[in-house]
Amino acid sequence: MTTPNSPAPANSPQDRLIVALDFPDAASALALTARVGPAIRWVKVGLELFIAEGPGIISTLAARGLNVFLDLKLHDIPNTVAGAVRTASSAGAGLLTLHAGGGPAMLQAAANAAAGLPNPPQLLAVTVLTSMDAPQLNAIGVSAPPAAQVARLASMAWTSGIRGFVCSAEEITSTHTAFPDATLVIPGIRPAGAAIGDQKRVATPASAIAAGASYLVVGRPITQAPDPAAATTAILREIASATK
């Protein structure tokens, strides 16, 4: 049995909050982490920051005591994805996304690659992107409604050995019911009264945790706040209120 880089979320609210570092360069990302300080333990590195800075950004963040959710949404042939799981692990990723749409062979190759590593990231399957509605799915040849497609892909990913999912707040209850042992990572979190921005299916930190979320991904409500540290404290308090 291997020990993942990412332990199961502890009860501490700080272990369940992931701040999305959606910045174009390391300087901006590190400035934000410095402003928030030790209140955060997890950050998300997505394509924008990763392409700008490369894997070195993961060790830079780790050197500041931060765990990294590497959100690269891998989708390629099984051999290539397995290799990417290995190098993401070496780089220090604690959580790593891949597209369930890559199919069972790709997912199994990723799960097998992780199982062979001393300190693997926890793999998270992305089912249907929240930007895909019924017409978008139809255009790529999927006639099933989005919810049915999400359920189909989640089940396939679980059977292929993937034990975590990224899903919207609306899907927490159904996913938690179907896969009670799965790690659920939830973006689209907005504290009560916060600007919704371009997000549609949003939830408050407390309601998402109460519904069964393992981790919450929060970007702009912290990164664009006039006082990011105060915004973080308020969200951590909300998480704590839901876990009592």
Active site residues: 73
Amino acid identity, residue 126?
Answer: V
CB of 70 to ligand C5P, least distance (A): 12
Q: Could you tell me which residues come within 8 angstroms of residue 146 by beta carbon, excluding any fewer than 6 positions away?
A: 128, 132, 133, 134, 137
Selected binder of ligand C5P within 82, 219, 232, 236 (CB under 6 A): 219
- The Cα 89–Cα 2 span in angstroms is 12
Selected binder of ligand C5P within 67, 130, 149, 183 (CB under 6 A): 130
Determine, following the binding rule CB under 6 A, whether residue 20 of this chain makes contact with ligand C5P.
yes
Interaction pattern, residues 22-51, with ligand C5P; x per rule: CB under 6 A: x---------------------x-x-----
Q: In 3D, which of 232, 210, 191, 215 has the Cα closest to residue 69?
A: 215
Q: Indicate the SS3 state at residue 218.
A: strand
Residues 46-85 that bind ligand C5P (CB under 6 A): 46
- The Cα 116–Cα 120 span in angstroms is 8
Selected binder of ligand C5P within 6, 89, 199, 204 (CB under 6 A): 199
Q: Indicate the SS3 state at residue 140.
A: coil
- By beta-carbon proximity to ligand C5P, the closer residue of 199 and 214 is 199
Determine, following the binding rule CB under 6 A, whether residue 188 of this chain makes contact with ligand C5P.
yes
- By beta-carbon proximity to ligand C5P, the closer residue of 35 and 220 is 220
Q: Could you tell me which residues come within 8 angstroms of residue 64 by beta carbon, excluding any fewer than 6 positions away?
A: 30, 33
- By beta-carbon proximity to ligand C5P, the closer residue of 26 and 113 is 26
- By beta-carbon proximity to ligand C5P, the closer residue of 101 and 188 is 188
Name the token pair of 21.
Answer: 């570092």
Contact stretch for ligand C5P (CB under 6 A) within 106-114, 143-151, 174-182, 215-223: 215-223
Q: Indicate the SS3 state at residue 122.
A: strand
Determine, following the binding rule CB under 6 A, whether residue 6 of this chain makes contact with ligand C5P.
no
Determine, following the binding rule CB under 6 A, whether residue 220 of this chain makes contact with ligand C5P.
yes
- The Cα 181–Cα 214 span in angstroms is 10
Q: State how far Cα 239 lies from the chain centre.
A: 17
Q: What number of helices (H) and strands (E) belong to the chain?
A: 11, 8
- The label of the residue with tokens 């700080």 reads 14
- The label of the residue with tokens 């300190």 reads 119
Determine, following the binding rule CB under 6 A, whether residue 128 of this chain makes contact with ligand C5P.
no
- By beta-carbon proximity to ligand C5P, the closer residue of 75 and 220 is 220
Determine, following the binding rule CB under 6 A, whether residue 124 of this chain makes contact with ligand C5P.
no
Determine, following the binding rule CB under 6 A, whether residue 218 of this chain makes contact with ligand C5P.
yes
Binding site for ligand C5P (CB under 6 A): 20, 22, 44, 46, 130, 166, 168, 187-188, 197, 199, 217-221
